[in-house]
Structure 1
Amino acid sequence: MVFAGGAIGTGVRHGLALAWLDGPLATLLVNLTGAFALGWLLGAIGRHADPRATHRRLFLGTGLLGAYTTYSAFVVALAGPGAGALDWATALASLPLGVMLAGAGLRLGHPDA
């Protein structure tokens, strides 16, 4: 389940990078949309104990969204010799904004949470 979802998530992220989304702001956008989607997913199906929900969480959450988001891209950008202020600003903004958007997605996916 994780492998199949990961293959799709990687393909989506790569397709976006080829189309027009590349660079620190694009990475931030992808990570924030992925954080929101993961929050929503966990809110919507995270508390279900049936095997289908477990498979959906593995496929969509760990696989697809795990591969779609690219938090490691910040590490690569910041470790490189050309790291600039925009790289640092987007990396530093990514964590708090991602947590806030994941919380918003969780609330939307499960309003009683």
Structure 2
Amino acid sequence: MRLEKIFAIQWANLYPMYLKKAEAKGRTQSELDQVIRWLTGYTAAGLRKQNEGDADLETFYGKAPKYNPNAALITGMVCGVRVEDVEHPLMRQIRRLDKLVDELAKGKPMEKILRG
């Protein structure tokens, strides 16, 4: 899939997929939201607004209030791709969240997911 198509995916369509993945493994919406808010800096109300809006991924990440400086600590493989090797900055942000959701679904403790 071309990057332009990925960046045009609506956040409100992607969020339920992340939630389904987390809940299928016994995690909660609250935990998922905590991970997303940690990475992007959205408040609970701000994230709720994004979940109900029509922003694409480029807009969702572009309007993120404060991308976490510890995001650089997110490393490893997701979908066969090493997160830290992704060259395109927006794609790297997307893959970092994918990695965090994977870790959440695998039952990793929140303090480790949030690089605490």
After TM superposition, is the score higher than 0.5?
no
More helix by share: 1
Q: Which has the higher contact order (CA 8 A, sep 6+)?
A: 1
> Bigger radius of gyration, 1 or 2?
1
